[in-house]
Amino acid sequence: MALFIAKRLGAALLLVIGTVLVAFLLTAVLPGDAATARLGERAAADPAIVAAMRESMGLDRPLYEQFAIYLGNLFQGDLGQSVQTSRAVLTDLQLFGPASAELALTATIIAVVVGGGLGIIAALRANRPIDNVLRAVSLGGVSVPIFWLALIATAIFSTQLRWFPSSGRLDAGAIPPPRVTGFYTIDSLLAGNLPLFAEAVGHLILPAIVLSAPMVGLLMRFTRASVLDVLGQEYIRAAEAKGLSGPSVVFGHVLRGALVPVITVVGTAFASLLAGTVLVEQIFAWPGIGSYAYRAASTLDLSAIVGVTIFVALIYILVNLATDILYGIIDPRIRRA
Amino acid sequence: MKRSARLVGAAAVTAAAALVFSACSAPADDADAPAVESLVIDKSFDLVTADPARMFETTGGIVLHAVYDSLLTFADGNAEEPLPSVASEWEVNADATEYTFTIRDGITFSDGTPLTAADVVYSLDRVKNIQGNGSFLLDGLSVASPDESTVVITSETPNTAVPAIVTSPTLGIVNSALVTENGGTDAEGAADSDTAEAFLNETSAGSGPYMLESFDTTTETVLVANPEYWGEAPVYDRVVLRNTTAEAQLMDIQSGTAHVALDLGSDQIAGLSGDTIVSTSSSPTIFFLFANANSGVSEITSSPDFREAVKYGLDYDGILELAGEGAERAYGIVPSSYLGALGADGATERDVERATAAAAKLGPNPTINLEYASDFSSNGLSMGPFAERIAAQLAEVGITVNLTPGPIATTLESYRAGTEQMGLWLWNPDYPDSADYLAFGPGEIVGLRAGWAAGSDPELEAVMAEVSTETDAATREELYQEFQKLHNEAGVIIPLFQPAASVVSTSAVGEVLYDPVFSLDIAAIGR
């Protein structure tokens, strides 16, 4: 197992270095001048001001030198400074990362519970009316554009019914809980501040449900197929023939067998949720990595763009690594392969 | 097997129901509560810094106008007459080269330090020497303080715009001792040696009605009332300015999550219902089209025939219609509320026959590219629909317009480099004075982007030279009108319209007016 993990870690490290190189080069050759993008109409027409800005951003050096400096700083944990926030990119990632992670994780939990649960029901009731209904629902979940769903959900649940706030992680101007994990729900509980916890949950639910919708549909279909596949296996019939009770068969045998492919889907979907929250974060004014990346791209904030790219790549790599390891634990045949 | 299915099914349904239940039981906003504890303003941020010397953006102006006092100010949406602020009075010499300001007694910064003339000189010199976005405001100006309560601004050439210029939040007065203590300097070379920005992004060093509680360029910025403020105290003790898209603003204002929304377009406003008040006025922003006069960029757009075809081929009312209710046609490049603005008299109207004849002289099927920013909107308006309509109108007179939209980061670069054949852009005033619009003349900043080099139009340039040194208001008014008539005749840059500026507020807050200088005067809300 140790060798298996070591191999996977080695491959992950190579992948990170490759990602940094590609992200840096692609960003550097983007059209547009990052220095003048920061400057106003009059200042951009003044060569002295433009030169000073280029120098302060390090853009006056040759590209290879910029890359060497960047790599050198990176190894010291320095991702450069963001032009839009005037803070270190690493600090920004620490500030905005947990907001996205909290949202993506909640969406994943909702998707696993709802999608997985409904997938199991659909499989156990295969080809009956409830299965047909659930399959139609899952198709809807996968096909509905997320921005549309977000706007409809906000219009109904925020504007009309006023059940949930429409934006932010807390009410406007509320003071966040003392930072421990960066997850407002957990941190407010740790601080023993129940009203703030309720506020954080209230703000989290609507964007999380919207974000989870496509994944609910996907997981429902996937779980259904996986459970159906396992139900047809000989060992299930053998277990039933031995006289084991229904729940024992389902929880002890069927789910364990169906789990491996579902874990892959959950892992990859979580990573893609984290990377792809841009739309949902924009609509719900959620101060996460998605909003940060959107602004970075529109203001040519190079350090921030590269920083976010590396961050997202790392998440993908770590999630894949975790998935591989989980695979190995659940099915020992995989790590021996 | 059937029993197990029921159990698992029940578990899944229970889990889903629990989620829905927990969702429904979340705390709801009390829509009926009349009192507003914290005033919440939704704005799409272009916030970069809270350091006045480095700030020159709309959102930054809104925040810093509330935090830093300037020598003079404007109030109640009136952009014509500068009013006393830190300077209780001022005098100007006959040729408008020397302005003497008397500093008001009894003003203290938020930490209790008295504000003196030395702070004013420090603040303005720091802006100049930091060489930032707003340094141009002090081009040709020098500042001195002969005594503790007098500031003298001297201009190399007659400059009637100085009173308007010193109202800028960029020229807000900072506590010089505090800023110096935290890395600031007003000396030459401040561009490299001044390191006070990080401090000023955390702590305000001003004497305005508000102080910074927290400052974030991406999420929200919170202001609290300054207990040391020398003027009339603001109504709201705490103001939260949140970064939200126009779509989110619509939801927030309808759900009562926000009290003021600044970026709603006329379509969104039309769909508003219930407890909201809409205040609409004309913005001084000018949307304009230009045809590059540099033959190196385009033989076609640089031709006078092309300019004539465009000038008479455009249906200005058709374009204005797209801008929505409250927008008004720009008859000249100077906005309607400024000195010397042109009226409807002599306005160019569409003449398809004349335009078609001019286009025919360009040869068979003249084709040009029209560039615009596709990811940018102002006053709720995006450039795309206008570009499409312009292309359709010019197609009717025989000109093919290829639309070439792009992200603003890249289109801005080609616009500033003067390489666009045709461009669709807008201009927000740097300071509320007609002098700012001389930038649209040949050899000036916008003129150059339209390929209009100095010396291209001697008659027009003579008027520009004359008006920039003229001190008599009536003569200046005539000269600005003359400048615009000649500008319209040349047809290189075609002013299109001034959009409507709308502020939407909830009834708990009352009507909130758009401010033509600061966009929003936070301290005036509720008064």
Top residue of A118, A166, A171, A248 to mutate, by most chain B CBs within 10 Å, is A166
| Residue A14 is assigned to a structural domain of this protein | no
| A72 and A152 inside one domain | no
In contact, B41 and A280? CB cutoff 8 Å: no
Q: Which residue, among B394, B284, B263, has the nearest Cα to B330 in the 3D structure?
A: B284
b (16+ CB within 10 A) / e for B258-279: bbbbbbbbbebbeebeeebbbe
- Tell me, yes or no, if A337 comes closer than 8 A to chain B by beta carbon: no
A1 vs B504, higher pLDDT: B504
Q: Supply the range of the domain harboring residue A40.
A: 32-78
> What pLDDT is recorded for position B332?
97
Question: Distance, in angstroms, between B427 CA and closest chain A CA?
Answer: 9
Task: Single out the residue of B65, B110, B103 nearest to residue B84, CA to CA.
Answer: B103
User: B197 to chain A: which residues are within 8 Å by CB?
Assistant: 86
Gap between the Cα atoms of B463 and A71, Å rounded: 56
Site of tokens 């009312």 = B317
A117 contact residues in B (CB cutoff 8 A): 8-9, 11-13, 15-16
Residues A73 and A108 in one domain: no
**Is A121 near chain B, with CB under 8 Å?**
yes
Q: Is A275 found in the same domain as A139?
A: yes
Based on the domain organization, do A270 and A131 belong to the same domain?
Answer: yes
Shared domain for A200 and A240, answered yes or no, is yes
Contact A40, B136 (CB under 8 A): no
Tell me how close the Cα of A273 comes to any Cα of chain B, in angstroms: 20
Residues B282-314: tens digit of each pLDDT? 899 999 999 999 999 999 999 999 999 999 999
User: Which of the listed residues A78, A105, A135 is the one where a domain comes to its end?
Assistant: A78
> Considering the domain boundaries, does residue A15 fall inside one?
no
CA distance readout (Å), B405 to B226, B367, B385, B391: 45, 16, 11, 13
Query: A298 and B23: CB-CB below 8 Å?
Result: no
Residues 261-280 of A with CB under 8 A from B: none
Chain A contact set for B54 (CB, 8 A): none
Least Cα separation, residue B130 to chain A (angstroms): 9
With beta carbons under 8 A apart, name residues in chain A contacting B508.
none
User: Are A42 and A163 contained in the same domain?
Assistant: no
Closest Cα in chain B, distance from residue A295 (Å): 8
For residue A122, give the chain B residue with the closest CA. Answer: B9
pLDDT, average across residues A91-116: 90
Q: Which residues of B touch A164 (CB under 8 A)?
A: 23, 26
What are the structure tokens assigned to B399, written together? 């000109």
Asked if A84 and B218 come within 8 Å (Cβ–Cβ), the reply is yes
* A residues 140..159 contacting B (CB < 8 A): 151, 154-155, 158-159
Q: How confident is the model at residue B18 (pLDDT cuts 50, 70, 90)?
A: very low
Q: Number of CB pairs < 8 Å for A and B?
A: 208
CA distance A63 to B509: 53
Choose the weakest-confidence range: A297-301, A305-309, B135-139, B346-350: A297-301
Q: Do B247 and A205 touch (CB under 8 A)?
A: no
Q: Is residue A160 part of a domain?
A: yes
Q: Long-range contact list for B184-188, CB < 8 A, 24+ apart? A: B184/B126, B185/B126, B185/B129, B186/B121, B186/B122, B186/B123, B186/B125, B186/B126, B186/B129, B187/B125, B187/B129, B188/B129
Rounded distance between C-alpha atoms, residue B239 and residue B226, angstroms: 12
Contact across the interface for A250 and B238, Cβ inside 8 Å: no
Contact A285 B427 (CB under 8 A): no
Are B19 and A85 within 8 A, CB to CB? no
Query: Which residue in B2, B19, B268, B430 has the most chain A C-beta atoms within 10 A of its own C-beta, making it the best mutation to test that interface?
Result: B19
Cβ–Cβ below 8 Å for B251 and A159:
yes
A298 interfacial to chain B (CB closer than 8 Å): yes
* Lowest-confidence region among B33-37, B52-56, B135-139, B228-232: B33-37
Which residue of B212, B247, B259, B504 is the best one to mutate when testing the A interface, meaning the one whose CB has the most A CBs within 10 A? B247
First to last CA, chain B: 72
Residue B91's beta-bridge partner residues?
A: B100
Q: Which residues contact B58 (CB under 8 A, 6 or more apart)?
A: B46, B428, B519
pLDDT value for A61: 87
Share of chain B above pLDDT 70, in %: 93
pTM: 0.83
| Shortest distance, CA B185 to any CA of chain A (angstroms) | 17
Residues of B in contact with A238 (CB under 8 A): none
- Does some domain include residue A23? no
Name the residue with higher pLDDT: A275 or A103. A103
Residue-range domain boundaries for chain B: 39-243+501-524, 286-498
Contact at CB, B410 and A283, closer than 8 angstroms = no
What letter represents residue B73's amino acid?
Answer: T
Three-class SS state of B49: coil
Whether residue A69 is found in the same domain as residue A155: no
Find the helix packing angle between A129-143 and A194-231, rounded to 10°: 120
Structure confidence at residue A336 (pLDDT):
58
How many separate domains does chain A show? 2
| Cβ within 8 Å, pair B407-A32 | yes
Structurally, at CATH architecture level, domain B286-498 sits in Roll (3.10)
What is the average pLDDT across B374-382?
85
Domain B39-243+501-524 CATH class label: alpha beta
CA distance A248 to chain B (A): 8
CB B174 within 8 A of CB B55: no
Residues from chain A contacting residue B3 (CB–CB below 8 Å): 245-247
The Cα of B312 is separated from the nearest Cα of chain A by a number of Å equal to 29
pLDDT at A335 over 70: no
Q: Average pLDDT, stretch B138-159? A: 95
Residue contact A43–B134, C-beta within 8 A: yes
Residues of chain B with C-beta less than 8 angstroms from the C-beta of A127: none
pLDDT recorded at residue B25:
36
Half-sphere exposure of A336 (CA within 13 A, CB side): 4
Q: What is the token pair recorded at A193?
A: 């501040």
Contact yes or no for A117 and B13 at CB 8 A: yes
- Please tell me if residue A117 touches chain B, with a CB cutoff of 8 Å: yes
Chain B residues lying within 8 Å of A40, measured CB to CB: 56-57, 133-134
Contacts of A158 in chain B (CB under 8 A): 251, 255, 257
CB B314 within 8 A of CB B393: yes
Enumerate the β-bridge partners of residue A303: none
Residue A220: inside a domain = yes
Mean pLDDT of chain B: 90
Give tens-digit pLDDT for A169-195.
988 878 889 999 999 999 999 999 999
DSSP of B194-259: ---HHHHTTS----SSEEEEE--SSSEEEEEE-TT-SSPPPS-SEEEEEE--HHHHHHHHHHTS-S
pLDDT digits (tens, 9 = 90+) for B336-376: 989 999 999 989 999 999 999 999 999 999 999 999 998 88
pLDDT given for residue B24 in this prediction: 37
A219 close contact with B: CB closer than 8 A:
no
- Which of B51, B218, B438 is the mutation pick for testing A, counting most A CBs within 10 A? B218
Is the same domain home to A253 and A127? yes
Q: Output the pLDDT for position A333.
A: 63
Secondary structure (3-state) at B325: coil
Contact A249 B218 (CB under 8 A): no
In this complex, do B248 and A283 lie within 8 Å of one another by their Cβ atoms?
yes
Chain B residue nearest residue A106, CA to CA:
B19
Question: For residue B32, what are its two tokens?
Answer: 């009926």
- Residue A86 in any domain: the answer is no
Structure tokens at B312: 């008479």
Q: How far is B200 from chain A (nearest CA, A)?
A: 12
**Cross-chain CB nearest to B191 (options A52, A162, A287):** A52
Question: Which of A40, A41, A250 is facing B8, going by the closest CB pair?
Answer: A250
Does A85 contact B at CB distance below 8 Å?
yes
| CB of A288 closer than 8 Å to CB of A336 | no
**Residue B193: pLDDT over 90:** yes
Q: Is residue A88 part of a domain?
A: no
Beta carbons of A125 and B5 less than 8 Å apart: yes
Taking CB atoms and an 8 Å limit, are A41 and B445 in contact across chains?
Answer: yes
pLDDT score of B26 = 37
- For the segment A112-140, the average pLDDT, to the nearest whole number, is 85
pLDDT of residue B438: 96
Which tens digits make up the pLDDT trace of B244-291? 888 888 888 988 889 999 999 888 898 887 789 999 988 999 999 999
Residue B159 DSSP class: -
Could you tell me the sign of the dihedral formed by the alpha carbons of A7, A11, A12, A17, in that order?
positive
Residues belonging to chain B: 527
A151 Cβ neighbours under 8 A, 6+ residues apart: A283, B247
Answer yes or no: do A118 and A70 share one domain.
no
**Does the beta-carbon distance from A201 to B26 stay under 8 Å?**
yes
- A171 and A308: one domain? yes
Cβ–Cβ below 8 Å for B412 and A202: no
Share of chain A above pLDDT 90, in %: 14
Interval B466-482 mean pLDDT: 94
pLDDT, average across residues B175-202: 95
CB B112 within 8 A of CB B82: no
Question: pLDDT at position A215, please?
Answer: 86
pLDDT at B27 exceeding the cut of 70: no
pLDDT tens sequence across A214-270: 888 888 888 888 888 877 777 777 776 776 666 666 766 677 667 777 777 787 777
Residue B35: how many other CB atoms lie within 10 Å: 5
The reply to whether A112 and A164 lie within a common domain is yes
Best probe of the A interface among B138, B215, B257, B408, by most A CBs < 10 A, is: B257
Report the distance separating Cα B428 and Cα B432, nearest Å.
10
- A212 and A168, same domain (yes or no): yes
User: Is residue B515 over pLDDT 50?
Assistant: yes
Give the CATH number, domain containing residue A228. Answer: 1.10.3720.10
- So what's the pLDDT on residue B20? 37
Q: How confident is the model over A11-33, as a mean pLDDT?
A: 79
Q: How confident is the model at residue B112 (pLDDT cuts 50, 70, 90)?
A: very high
Per-residue pLDDT, B11: 39
